[in-house]
Amino acid sequence: MTIPYLDSSVETSVRVSDLLQRMTLEEKAGLFFHPYSWLPSETLSSSAAIDAARVLIEDKNISHFVVMNGTSASEIARWTNALQEIAASTRLRVPLTFSSDPRSGFKSSAFTGQTLDSLSRWPEHLGLAALGDLSVVRDYADTIRREFLAMGVRVYLGPMADLFTEPRWSRGYGTFGEDPDAVALFTAEFIKGLRGQAVVGHESVSAIVKHFPGAGPQEAGRDAIDVRFPDQVYPGGLKDVHVRPFISAINAGVTQMMLYYGRPVGTDWDTRGFAFNKDVVDGLLRNELGFDGIVTTDWNAVGSEPFNGHPFGPIAHGVDGTTVDERLVLALEAGVDQFGGDTLSAELAQLVRDGRVEESRIDASARRILTEKFRLGLFESGPVDPHEAERVARDPRSRSRGRAAQAASLTLLKIHDPELLPLAAGTRLYARGFDGDSANSPFVFVDRPADADFCVVRIDSPWEPDPESSVPDLHGGSLEFAPELIESLRALASVAPLILDVYLERPAILAPLLDVASILVVDYGASDEVVLNALAGHTEFGGRLPFDIPRDMASVEASREDVPFDTVRPTFRAGDGLQLPAGMKLVGAGE
C-alpha cells in the first residue's frame, strides 16, 4: 500500500489529508504544543536531556521544540539530529520542527534569545533600524536562514513587529524602533530574507512574527510576561497603529504569528489576555485581516513548566481562576492553533473525548501545522552535518557583514570639536567598560587617566533591579543614570576629554551626559573592536536614532504608552545622528 504523505511528488494538500486521517487523536493533540528542548549543560547531563526529550516525543507525541542552551552550531546540529532520530522511530515518523529565538545579537537572555559566539554577530534589531537599509535587513535575515538550516532549525521566533512606543519597556531592544511605517517595512523585509524564496519552501526558515496585536503599549513599561503586570493600555486610542506592522507581515506572506500575554485595556476588544481573546484572534486576525496561518500563544500562557529549574506560568491574564482545561478551551475558541511552552497533549485529547472540544476543531489546526511541515520539506530532510553547520556559522563573509552592520549602526550624537575625530594612531587611551581585547587597535592603552590623551568609556542603558521579577534579565524601571555614575564620568572628563559610548537597550536619558562627554556615541550591540575602529576613522558613523530620546523621567511618565513620539521636548529625535565619514571632518546632522 502506498503512503501519499511520504511521496514528495504528491500535492501538499493531498499529503496533509492522507497523514491527518492516519493520525490518532493523541497524535493530533501532540501537534498543538511547542515546548522547550534543553540541550545538555552543566546542570543537565546528556542522558537526562535525551530522556526528557524522548518522553515528549514518544509519550506525548510532541513534534515542535524551541532549542534552548547550546554552545556552538555543531552542538545544536548534533542535538537536532539526535531528536529527529527518535522521531523517526515513532509510528508515523512525523519529523520534528525546531525553532529558536535570536542567536546572533548582543543581548543574551534565556527568555528572549541566547547568543552564540560561534555564529555571526549583528546589532540588535534596533541597530538594523538605525541603519535604515532594507538590503542589510534582508541580508541579516538570509544569514540567519543559512545558519539555522545548517543546524537543523527551521523556525525563527521573530521578528518582533511591536512598536517601541513606551520608552521604559524592557523588550524594546528586539524591535525595529518607534516609527510604525519603518517597523512595517523592516518586518516584511526580514520575513522575505528568512524565507529565501517566493513562498515557504525546503530552503526556508519560517518566521513567527510577534507579538500580535502589538506588545509595545505595556502599562508604564512593565512587561506582561510578569504575572503582576497584566495590562496593555491605549490612552491615545491607537491600537490600529500597533496592528499596522502585522498587516505588512501578512502581506509579505508570513505563515506563523505569535500572540502576546497582555490583556487590552481601553479598547473595544475583550479584556482577556490575547491568547484567550476571540475578538483579537478570530475577529481581527482571522476574519478582518484574513490570516490563515498558524497562531501560537507565547510560552506557558496556559500551563506551567519548569524553566531553568524554576516554575514558569501560567501567564493567563484576564482569565484568573480558570483551570488548565478551561484555558485550553478558551484559547481554542479564540482561534489558537498551538501552545508555546506547554506539553498538555493528553489533557487536550481528553477534552475531545469528553465532548468539550470537537475533533473537527482539532483537525482544522492540525491541518495548518502539518501543511507548514510539508512546505518546509521536513519529510524529505535528512540529518544535518555538524561540521558543515560549524563551517556555515564561521563563514568569514557572514561575520564580516555582521561587523559592518554593527559599525554602520553606531550613532554619533555629540562631538565637541570636529577635529577630535578620527583619533590618530598611537593616541593614548584610558578605557573603562572594555573587555580588554584590543590587540588590533591602533591605540595605546594606559592604566591612569592622567597619562591619557582621552578617556574612553562604554556603559549600558540604566535599569532598576526588581528582586520580585520572574524574568530578572529583562531590564525595566527608570531610564535615568545613577548620580554616582555621572559624577565618576565627570571626574574622568576633568582629567582628559571623555569619549562615551552608551549601549541603547532602551532610550536612556542622555541629557546629563551632554556637558560631560566631549564625544557621545550610542550603539545597539557592537563589539569593542568595532567601536575602536570607528574612533580611528576606519568606518563611518552611519546610524540614526530609531526612537526619541526623552529629556527626563517626568516627560516619560506623562507620555501615552501607545502613541509614537509622545514625549515632550525630547533631547534627541528619531533620525538624529551626526555623519562623520571615515577619516573626514564632521558634515553635520540631518544630511
Domain of residue 571, CATH code: 3.40.50.1700
Burial class (CB in 10 A: 0-12, 13-18, 19+), 202: middle
Please check whether residues 497 and 368 belong to one and the same domain.
Answer: no
pLDDT at 569 over 70: yes
Please check whether residues 415 and 385 belong to one and the same domain.
Answer: no
Considering the domain boundaries, does residue 400 fall inside one? no
Please check whether residues 333 and 477 belong to one and the same domain.
Answer: no
Q: Are strands 231-233 and 428-432 parallel, antiparallel or unpaired?
A: unpaired
Q: Give the per-residue pLDDT at 580.
A: 62
Considering the domain boundaries, does residue 122 fall inside one? yes
Omega of the bond leading into 442 within 30 degrees of 0 (cis): no
Q: Tell me the mean pLDDT in the region 404-411.
A: 97
Nine-digit cell string for 75: 552542538
Q: Give the per-residue pLDDT at 295.
A: 98
Give me the torsion for CA of 195, 200, 201, 205, rounded to 10°: 40
Considering the domain boundaries, does residue 545 fall inside one? yes
State the pLDDT confidence band at 441, using cuts at 50, 70 and 90. confident
Please check whether residues 246 and 344 belong to one and the same domain.
Answer: yes
3-class SS of residue 456: strand
- Residue 168 contacts by C-beta under 8 Å, 6 or more apart in sequence? 220, 221, 222, 476, 477, 478, 479, 506, 556
pLDDT at 16 over 50: yes
Domain count, the chain: 2
Domain of residue 344, CATH code: 3.20.20.300
pLDDT at 425 over 60: yes
Please check whether residues 109 and 233 belong to one and the same domain.
Answer: yes
Between CA 379 and CA 377 the distance in angstroms is 5
pLDDT at 583 over 60: no
- Residue 327 contacts by C-beta under 8 Å, 6 or more apart in sequence? 276, 301, 302, 303, 314, 316, 319
Please check whether residues 435 and 358 belong to one and the same domain.
Answer: no
Q: Which amino acid is it at 558?
A: A
Q: Tell me the mean pLDDT in the region 276-282.
A: 98
Please check whether residues 506 and 432 belong to one and the same domain.
Answer: yes
Nine-digit cell string for 517: 562627554
Please check whether residues 284 and 388 belong to one and the same domain.
Answer: yes
Nine-digit cell string for 407: 559599525
Q: Tell me the mean pLDDT in the region 344-368.
A: 98
State the pLDDT confidence band at 18, using cuts at 50, 70 and 90. very high
Hey, CA dihedral for 200, 398, 527, 36, is it positive or negative? positive
- Quickly list H helices, 117-216: 125-131, 134-151, 180-195
Considering the domain boundaries, does residue 401 fall inside one? no
Residue 214 near residue 163 (C-beta atoms within 8 A): yes
Considering the domain boundaries, does residue 405 fall inside one? no
Q: Are strands 519-523 and 411-415 parallel, antiparallel or unpaired?
A: antiparallel
Considering the domain boundaries, does residue 399 fall inside one? no
Measuring CA to CA, which residue among 81, 7, 67 is closest to residue 374? 7
Q: Give the per-residue pLDDT at 585.
A: 40
pTM for the model stands at: 0.96
Measuring CA to CA, which residue among 247, 259, 171, 255 is closest to residue 205? 255
Residue 298 annotated in active site: yes
> Please, what is the average pLDDT of the chain?
94
Q: Give the per-residue pLDDT at 437.
A: 60
Omega of the bond leading into 264 within 30 degrees of 0 (cis): no
Please check whether residues 266 and 158 belong to one and the same domain.
Answer: yes
Considering the domain boundaries, does residue 361 fall inside one? yes
Please check whether residues 346 and 440 belong to one and the same domain.
Answer: no
The single residue of 101, 223, 298, 562 carrying the catalytic annotation is: 298
Please check whether residues 422 and 510 belong to one and the same domain.
Answer: yes
Considering the domain boundaries, does residue 311 fall inside one? yes
Between CA 205 and CA 145 the distance in angstroms is 6
Domain-ending residue, one of 347, 365, 393: 393
**Structural domain boundaries, residue 513:** 410-589
Where is 407: in which H helix or E strand?
A: helix 396-409
3-class SS of residue 390: helix
Between CA 459 and CA 509 the distance in angstroms is 13
Domain-ending residue, one of 393, 418, 443: 393
Burial class (CB in 10 A: 0-12, 13-18, 19+), 530: buried
For residues 391-426, one letter each, b for 16 or more C-beta atoms within 10 angstroms of the residue's C-beta and e for the rest, the string is: ebbbbeebbebbbbbbbbbbbbbbbeeeebbbbeee
Q: Tell me the mean pLDDT in the region 463-486.
A: 91
Q: Give the per-residue pLDDT at 439.
A: 62
Omega of the bond leading into 211 within 30 degrees of 0 (cis): yes
Percent of the chain with pLDDT over 90: 90
Domain-ending residue, one of 364, 393, 422: 393
**Weakest mean pLDDT among 187-196, 468-477, 513-522:** 468-477
Nine-digit cell string for 463: 535599569
Please check whether residues 414 and 388 belong to one and the same domain.
Answer: no
Q: Give the per-residue pLDDT at 481.
A: 98
Distance of CA 108 to the CA centre of its chain: 10
